[in-house]
Amino acid sequence: MAPATSKRYNSDVETLRKKEYPHMNNGVYLDHSGATIYAKSTVEAFASKMLTGLYGNPHSENSPAKLSGDVVDQVREKMLNFFGASPKDFDLIFVANATAAVKLVADCFRDLAEKSRDQKFWYGYHKDAHTSIVGVRELTRGQFHCFGSDEEVEQWLQFPENTSINRTNPNGLGLFAYPGQSNMTGRRLPLSWSWRARHSDSLQNTYTLFDAAALAMTYPMEKIFQDPDRAPDFTCFSLYKIFGFPDVGALIVRKESGHILSLRKYFGGGTVSMVATFGDKPWHRSKGLQAPTYKLHEGLEDGTLPFHSILALGEAIDVHVRLYGSMSNISAHTSYLIDVLYRGMAGLRHGNGRPACRIYSENKDRDFRNPSKQGSAIAFNMLLPSGAYISYTDVERIANDAGFYIRSGGVCNPGGIFSLLGYEPWMTERALSAGHHCGSNGISVLHRLPTGIVRASLGAMSTRQDVELFLDFLRATFVDVDGEGIDIETAALSETPTLRSIPSEGALTERQQQSVSASAPALASAPDLNLGLDNSGRNDLLRKPERKKSRTRHIPLLSHLRRGEHNHNKPVVAKLPSLPSLPARSLPGGLPTLR
């Protein structure tokens, strides 16, 4: 499918949404970085195969087992071709997800390092790395380094011997890991680092681990694998981020580097050709070390593969190609949309001229439309007219109740949170001692600083309407356009009907209308909230003494938002006489503030 309109927006997706994604009708889904949405045709094709075929355990030799084994082989090659990775130069190991792929590589390096003099391997990782990448450091016996910037990586690649990176032996076994795209901000990192490390005289024993889980969702991976010499040694994927279903991952290994993984200690069912159980020195023979009789993946895929999921993956690939044509089309489509979203959010301002939204990005020229610099995700926090932060957990909860599905918190990116939110090591220690932890029950704002962010991310099936409705929601809910002040009127609609219980056309029964009205009484003045500001620093827009009663702010449900001719500087609420918009309740206790 080729883009049908100019400016790289693929309007054909709007038609696809009606036919292939009817399950997306109950809200605006903006968490594609977590998992994208599966197509209806994928489920139907998979169900048809399951109902017409008989599939057995591929480790057996009977006909149903052989059918499963053939499917696994075919889908493995199909997946490599989808990524533009030649089966001649690359092998693919099926795993549970990207984290499982990372752990497989890490375990292999730990085992091999035990045969070195100091029994250690050096590990370097970029600050934008996912938590699963960071966790590898615990296997290094303290010999690891976190690169705090792209510039530090560049300096290390240029002068490996002169850089202080906590590496006692520059020529020893090493592993450098980094993401192709920050799963927090969507910023895309340089793709040349693997090639530069491979061609450095001083880094011949240093391998590269590339986390492509976030990148592959909207990026043509043939740009990574078309030249095997420039490709990473190991690349990990969570395939549900690309296809939505099934829940399976992959590790693509450059064959010239893959032998190092075959030296691991552990072996599972199906990965060995023979095992001696008794005797003074029990032994085994890994299939990974018996090329060309066996292939690399046969020595690394422990136990029975999820062959039904792999069958579904083959159908998902076919449907994806039929619906979207190529990943280049998806890249152009999502780049257009994320640029629209960024510009819209950057333009949100309160009546006093202050920004209503802070966007976190290290994309220096803020070129969100350039797919080499930016993916389809955006990290942000909402601000009060005073400049104080609104709790990210409340933003997510309010959005969820209105039918907008986003994500908030640390999003499994500790380095990104630490650097972009302005933390120092002692501040992290203070947050921990104060009781903060990852998750919805953590402390959202501590000493005027947020401890996390809100993330909105787009996928192949996202539309311009998704973006416009979300911008309307932010504008109507969190922006004080008239300068009358805000009394923290961004409360969760926990006791009000949501999109899931309100027909999209507003066709409510009389009883339903009475229920909505009863659940939305006018509120008295909001309590004074401590936002961590002293009396002299508190902006009078936050609380005006002369006002006897707080202004009720209306938070629109998604079913009330309509695109049309309106002033973008004012909240957009549909005119439904029988269904009033729902007033927000004041936050109980306000934003957490500790001293």
- The pLDDT profile of the chain, 595 residues, written as one tens digit per residue, is 444 444 589 999 999 999 999 999 999 999 999 999 999 999 999 999 999 999 999 999 999 999 999 999 999 999 999 999 999 999 999 999 999 999 999 999 999 999 998 899 999 999 999 999 999 999 999 999 999 999 999 999 999 987 789 998 888 999 999 999 999 999 999 999 999 999 999 999 999 999 999 999 999 999 999 999 999 999 999 999 999 999 999 999 999 999 999 999 999 999 988 899 898 888 888 888 888 889 999 999 999 999 999 999 999 999 999 999 999 999 999 999 999 999 999 999 999 999 999 999 997 778 899 999 999 999 999 999 999 999 999 999 999 999 999 999 999 999 999 999 888 878 778 887 887 877 767 778 887 888 899 999 999 999 999 999 999 999 999 999 887 665 544 333 333 333 332 233 333 334 334 433 333 333 233 333 333 333 333 333 333 334 334 444 555 555 445 444 344 444 333 333 333 333 433 333 333 333 3
**DSSP three-state, residue 303:** coil
Q: Mention every residue, 6+ apart, whose C-beta is less than 8 A from residue 181.
A: 187, 188, 189, 214, 215, 219, 375, 377
Find the largest Cα–Cα distance for the chain. Answer: 89
d(CA 493, CA 501): 13
Q: Which two tokens stand for residue 374?
A: 């930016």
Burial 217-237 (b: 16+ CB within 10 A, else e): bbbbbebbbeeeebbbbbbbb
Distances (CA, A) of 503 to 277, 414, 462, 573: 65, 40, 21, 16
d(CA 451, CA 428): 9
Q: Which two tokens stand for residue 323?
A: 């619906």
Q: Which two tokens stand for residue 479?
A: 């922006």
CA dihedral 439, 444, 446, 451 (to 10 degrees): 60
d(CA 375, CA 358): 18
- CA 536 to chain centroid, in Å, comes to 40
Active site residues: 412
d(CA 11, CA 499): 25
Q: Which helix (H) or strand (E) holds 478?
A: helix 464-478
Q: Which amino acid is at 270?
A: G
